[in-house]
Structure 1
Amino acid sequence: MTARDSLPVADRAQVRRYARSLLRRHPRALAGALGLHALAAITGLAAPRLLGDLVEAISRGTGAVTVDRIALAIAGFVLAQAVLIRFAHFASARLGERVLAELREEFVDRILAIPLSTVERAGTGDLLTRSSRDVAALSRSVRFAVPETLIAIVTAFFVIGAVLLTDPLLMLPALVAVPILWLATRWYLRRATPGYLAENAAYSDITDGISETVEGSRTTEALRQQARRRARTDADIGRSYAAERYTLFLRTVYFPLAETGYVLPVVTTLVFGGWFYVEGWVTLGEITAATLYVQQLMDPIDRLLSWLDEVQVGGASLARLLGVAQRPDAAESTAEPTAGSTAEPTDDPADGTVSPDRPVDQRLAAHDVRYAYQPGRDVLHGVNLTLTPGERLAMVGPSGAGKSTLGRLLAGIHRPGSGSVTVGGVPLADLPLADLRTEVALVTQEHHVFLGTLRDNLTMVRPDATDDQVRAALAAVDALDWAEQLPAGLETEVGSGHHQLSAAQAQQLALARLVLADPHTLVLDEATSLLDPRAARHLERSLAAVLRGRTVIAIAHRLHSAHDADRVAVVEDGRITELGPHAELVAADGSYAALWRSWHGDRT
């Protein structure tokens, strides 16, 4: 995938399979809704037949004695149909809302399973469009288009049956519309799905460009790139305009042809019906009933073809939502966790994969590890590293050397392109989610405060945590004092639109989550970068008591953490060039010694 490729899109077979699986989850609800619509359709068939009988009776001179009876019967059937339609639509709406809720929940799961590097290369605009525009389009399809389509199919089936029961001969004139509707629909469907996919992709480009422009507005102004950003936006809008114009062209061709297909059957039924009556093949009542049935048939067909366009939009959106779960990056098969949460790979034993054996111990090891974000461009080159349980390792080196990438591999976030990262002899990235959370956790310099109470933000990693455990976790990261001073203490609403935590407080919150998660190995990637040096030093000293007995991999530019570590790993150009205790590396007078002298000199 290139630097600005969109996220994958599911193919038609996958969309159909998923749609069928959704319907199979609710067989009783689906059968109930279809049954009610079928009964409503059947009751609606009575009026044309009764009117046909009335015309036949009048033509024979006996209509006076049957009008009142037929009028009452028609009124009864109309009332029954109204009641059935009401309950049928209610059943369809309830089923649609249930299916839509499942779709949304599964989409959230898919989003959380996307590696961050994949999103970065695709651009956030694509993901934002799928999360907003595509979800909204699919919502309309599930709520309205799919139920209306099913209703139209059921109704059309029974109306055609009624015409055949009236007189099969009168069905023949109505078939004149079949070639028109068939060819027009086939032409439309072949082009609609690719057209709507292109339209949604173009809208993603607009969203991506606008979000970049807004987020980087200061940089754009500083570099005087306003004209370039405007040109990018104009180009994106131009592609979106062309894509929407194409789908509009499809509709302007298809709908007039479909409308022609509605009118012709009624006309041909009347014309040929009159001929059949003159020939004595059918009665006047049968012609009346058949014509009314054919006219009645146009409503479900019109509904079917009208909503078919919305179904195509929904199908394209569903393909994009399902495509989020597909990852073209062979090297990445695990999920990027939220900062402060435990690492969560996407390997799930529920999908039929065989769960690996349990680790025999807590020893974390990397053997000949290579990794590339793009094929042929390795950022790690044959890294070997073994950590003793309870060891504190500091990972230092220049920016872009591969420290964070190696940290993510050691946390099970990425899977190595080659080589292995194991814990207790078991590949780390193959561990089920529940097991991995107890093994390794990662917290980065990026963090997020979720909308909810402070307690909710902490207990999300351990829902059964008590108040004492929550306070102990906050105390471990020097956050208890300010937490208790909040307006409602642990029950204070934080996040967007509520009490705002400072960057340092949010980072302490992320670290407190780790304390509650209680893994035996922690990977801290610049975890204290947003604290001032004095506060960071104090925090790390406070954490020392909590981290005692655990394996800790600290990735940092501040070398005081390296001074306190058992060993220091110097990462340069994707390789570990030096490894050993602080004193030995300083005495060796290599890269680490130069870093230490430079940093120590800056501090004095």
Structure 2
Amino acid sequence: MTVTDTPAVPTKLRTATGREATGWVAAHCRRAPWLTLSTVLSTVAGAALQVVPVLLLGRVVDGVVGGESRSVLVTVGVLMGAAALFGAAATAASTYLIGRLGAELLAQLRESAVRAVLGMPSARVEQVGRGDVLSRVGDDVAVLSKGIRQAIPTVFSAGVLVAIATLGMFGLDWRLGLAGACALPAYALALRWYLPRSAPLYRDQRVAQADRAQALISGLNGIDTVRAYRLEGDVREKVTAESWRVRNLGVEVFRFFGRFVGRENRAEFIGLVLILVVGYALLEADAATLGEVSAAPLMFHRLFTPLGAIMFTFDEAQKSGASLTRLVGVLGEPAEDRLVGDVSVARAEAVPHAVTVEGLTFSYPDTEEPVLRDVNLSIPAGGSLALVGATGAGKSTLAALIAGIGTPQAGAVRIGARDLAALDEAEARSLVSILTQETHVFSGSLADDLRLAAPEADDEQLMDALRTVGADGWVEPLPGGLNAMVGEGGERLDVTKVAQVALARLVLSRSPVVVLDESTAEAGSEGAAELERAVLAACAGRTTLYVAHRLTQAMAADRIAVLDAGRVVEEGTHEELVALGGMYARLWRAWREGS
């Protein structure tokens, strides 16, 4: 018998190569030829017109030395003023066109990336981690958006100006041009020294910041467990250690940047000294005019600002390039990993379905011990069940399996009479909706954000969903109402409002079964009560599974199941479990003491 190895599935979403990302940008630029051509021409024209006054200044010097008439000097002065004005206008047009072209490219890329992510099977999203997915359609879009507004136009415009100014020096005299060009290797050496040393530091700094945030968020999300097991000191020490690591790396990054600025100034000094020495020698040998020799240092000085801009924004441009490759990489995910069927299929009937878990056992790849062992649960149609237990008990894994994310090694999950394992992704999504604490609001209008769950919904249906979860009070005053821009570049929503938007999407989805995995965990104490009411309203009449972060939410469920080490160890109503005096009763006492 021949055994065929199954190819390993990547544990991260694909990242495109630099060539692929450049190809994607070039292809989309070709779709807007007039805008692209106008952008390039205005940038070149703006750079050339900025150089013209310096060249004319040399002409003025030669005119004064040669005793030319005042009219000639006035004419040259008028030309200098006109060049400065037209140069400013061309530069402004260039900045506008670069921003417009970049915004169009970003919009196309963002829509394509979000469409690709929404079309991925839930199992693939869970495999790579929601953090990787959300960071691409969230953080990477934000980084690229900032780069398009700031770094990329600066680097592009500055690069063109450097090229034009260098040509201008060679136009004055090729020897003066060579003298100024001798500074370029010094700039290149400064970058070559800085980039290999700074890039790892920037990466380490971002990793440290993420680790600090994770330590803080984990402690806050699991505050009940932390208090129950008296782990406050350990959590505090971990957050403090991560904060010191961020601080130390920040100091190191700043120190390296200071040394880099010194090397850049050294390059400027080398170039300026060489131009002055060569200019003096040419003037002594009567091989160049005083105007040419005077204009050359000024022309070289024109390089200071654009070269400095390139140096100072190079890191931001690098981050934008990295985000671009990550977003383009999402578009290149293998076609067989995409959703089976159509995610916009007609929603399942609104009649509630019972949920049955039979002998469920599940293990993650490359692990010896199962996360869940022989779990049996049932939720009657229209009823609710809360899962509670310590961190690592298997609550989120069980919730994901009930939502159709992943396949158990043994046992089954049934929605009504249907086995989830026998359904394709689209059918499973039409039956079960899952909402986790990792909710996200995409950049764009609020209406578009809500229609991710129901593309066919009209404005009245959107407002009904918002009223159901109590969000209409802050939505109606927004400028534009449903058309108000939210997310990056728009109205910034706090965690309570973000959760309400997610719950409104849940209302619009109309799936008969709902799984909520600590979906209100990040709200503060004031927002928690409001969100718990919104959750009850959103789930009314639907079969609901809660992974309860707050035991007050568990109390509101019809029944409670307590998980410990992957097994259901207790099950009953709140009153029954408190009277039992077991694990739930201990958690309840810790919760009341902490509250």
TM-score range, shorter chain: 0.5 to 0.7
Find 1:173's aligned residue among 176, 179, 186.
Answer: 179
Correspondence 1:462 to 2:468: no
User: Residue by residue, what CA displacement relative to the aligned partner does 1:50-105 show, whole Å, maximum 9, x if unpaired?
Assistant: 22223333333335452111111111111111211222222223334445556666
Q: Which residue of 2 aligns with 1:372?
A: 363
**What is the 5 A alignment of 1:19-30?**
21-22=24-25, 24-27=27-30, 28=32, 29-30=35-36
Q: Which residue of 1 aligns with 2:96?
A: 90
Inter-CA distance 134–499: structure 2 relative to 1 (3 Å threshold): closer
Q: Which residue of 2 aligns with 1:479?
A: none
* Counterpart residue identity of residue 246, structure 1: E
User: Residue by residue, what CA displacement relative to the aligned partner does 1:221-278 show, whole Å, maximum 9, x if unpaired?
Assistant: 5655443333222211111022212211221111111112123222211211221233
Q: Which residue of 1 aligns with 2:75?
A: 69
State the SS of the aligned residue for 1:373. coil
**2:180–2:274 CA contact under 8 A, matched in 1:** yes
Inter-CA distance 129–513: structure 2 relative to 1 (3 Å threshold): closer
* Identity of matched residues, %: 22
Shift of 1:290: 3.1
Correspondence 1:308 to 2:299: no
Shift of 1:418: 11
Q: Distance in 1 between matches of 2:62 and 2:449?
A: 76
User: Residue by residue, what CA displacement relative to the aligned partner does 1:556-594 show, whole Å, maximum 9, x if unpaired?
Assistant: 999x999xxxxxxxx999899xxxxxxxxxxxxxx99x9
Inter-CA distance 165–310: structure 2 relative to 1 (3 Å threshold): same
Find 2:203's aligned residue among 173, 183, 197.
Answer: 197
Shift of 1:301: 1.5
Find 1:292's aligned residue among 284, 287, 298.
Answer: 298
Q: What TM-score do you get using the length of structure 1 for normalisation?
A: 0.61
* Counterpart residue identity of residue 456, structure 2: D
Q: Which residue of 2 aligns with 1:267?
A: 273
Q: Distance in 2 between matches of 1:229 and 1:401?
A: 19
State the SS of the aligned residue for 1:462. coil
Shift of 1:427: 11
Q: Distance in 1 between matches of 2:194 and 2:268?
A: 17
RMSD: 6.6
Find 1:32's aligned residue among 14, 38, 56.
Answer: 38
Q: Distance in 1 between matches of 2:70 and 2:458?
A: 83
Q: Distance in 2 between matches of 1:96 and 1:245?
A: 33
Inter-CA distance 426–561: structure 2 relative to 1 (3 Å threshold): closer
**2:21–2:324 CA contact under 8 A, matched in 1:** no
Inter-CA distance 198–9: structure 2 relative to 1 (3 Å threshold): farther
User: Residue by residue, what CA displacement relative to the aligned partner does 1:268-300 show, whole Å, maximum 9, x if unpaired?
Assistant: 112112212333433333333333322222332
Shift of 1:369: 9.9
**What is the 5 A alignment of 1:173-572?**
173-217=179-223, 220=226, 223-315=229-321, 351=335, 371-373=362-364, 375-377=366-368, 379=370, 405=397, 408-409=400-401, 411-414=403-406, 431=424, 433=426, 437-438=429-430, 440-443=431-434, 461-464=453-456, 516-517=510-511
Q: Distance in 2 between matches of 1:470 and 1:293?
A: 60
Q: Which residue of 2 aligns with 1:565?
A: none
Q: Distance in 2 between matches of 1:283 and 1:575?
A: 91
**2:341–2:425 CA contact under 8 A, matched in 1:** no
* Counterpart residue identity of residue 364, structure 2: Y
**2:126–2:405 CA contact under 8 A, matched in 1:** no
State the SS of the aligned residue for 1:414. coil
Inter-CA distance 420–268: structure 2 relative to 1 (3 Å threshold): farther
Shift of 1:36: 0.8
Q: Distance in 1 between matches of 2:178 and 2:470?
A: 82
User: Residue by residue, what CA displacement relative to the aligned partner does 1:454-484 show, whole Å, maximum 9, x if unpaired?
Assistant: 999997643436899999x99xxxxxxx969
Inter-CA distance 228–63: structure 2 relative to 1 (3 Å threshold): farther
**1:421–1:427 CA contact under 8 A, matched in 2:** yes
Q: Distance in 2 between matches of 1:316 and 1:513?
A: 36
Inter-CA distance 322–207: structure 2 relative to 1 (3 Å threshold): farther
Inter-CA distance 227–156: structure 2 relative to 1 (3 Å threshold): same
* Counterpart residue identity of residue 56, structure 1: D
Q: Distance in 1 between matches of 2:185 and 2:56?
A: 31
Shift of 1:206: 2.0
State the SS of the aligned residue for 1:172. helix
Q: Which residue of 2 aligns with 1:161?
A: 167
* Counterpart residue identity of residue 234, structure 1: T
Inter-CA distance 441–103: structure 2 relative to 1 (3 Å threshold): same
Shift of 1:151: 0.3
State the SS of the aligned residue for 1:379. coil
Q: Distance in 1 between matches of 2:279 and 2:163?
A: 22
Q: What TM-score do you get using the length of structure 2 for normalisation?
A: 0.62
State the SS of the aligned residue for 2:287. coil
**1:149–1:308 CA contact under 8 A, matched in 2:** yes
* Counterpart residue identity of residue 237, structure 1: S
State the SS of the aligned residue for 2:432. strand
**1:413–1:429 CA contact under 8 A, matched in 2:** no
**1:397–1:572 CA contact under 8 A, matched in 2:** no
Q: Which residue of 1 aligns with 2:586?
A: none
* Counterpart residue identity of residue 375, structure 1: D
**1:196–1:316 CA contact under 8 A, matched in 2:** no
Q: Which residue of 2 aligns with 1:18?
A: 21
Q: Distance in 1 between matches of 2:256 and 2:469?
A: 62
Shift of 1:310: 3.1
Q: Distance in 2 between matches of 1:322 and 1:485?
A: 35
* Count of residues in Structure 1 that have an aligned counterpart in Structure 2: 512
Q: Distance in 1 between matches of 2:309 and 2:455?
A: 49
Q: Distance in 2 between matches of 1:410 and 1:252?
A: 54
* Counterpart residue identity of residue 24, structure 2: S
* Counterpart residue identity of residue 193, structure 2: W
Find 1:78's aligned residue among 84, 89, 103.
Answer: 84
Q: Distance in 1 between matches of 2:275 and 2:447?
A: 72
Q: Which residue of 2 aligns with 1:44?
A: 50
Q: Which residue of 2 aligns with 1:144?
A: 150
Q: Distance in 2 between matches of 1:486 and 1:303?
A: 45
Shift of 1:142: 2.3
**1:407–1:523 CA contact under 8 A, matched in 2:** no
Q: Distance in 1 between matches of 2:40 and 2:147?
A: 17
* Counterpart residue identity of residue 149, structure 2: R
* Counterpart residue identity of residue 185, structure 1: L
Shift of 1:486: 11
Q: Distance in 1 between matches of 2:413 and 2:402?
A: 7
Q: Distance in 1 between matches of 2:210 and 2:163?
A: 40
Shift of 1:441: 2.5
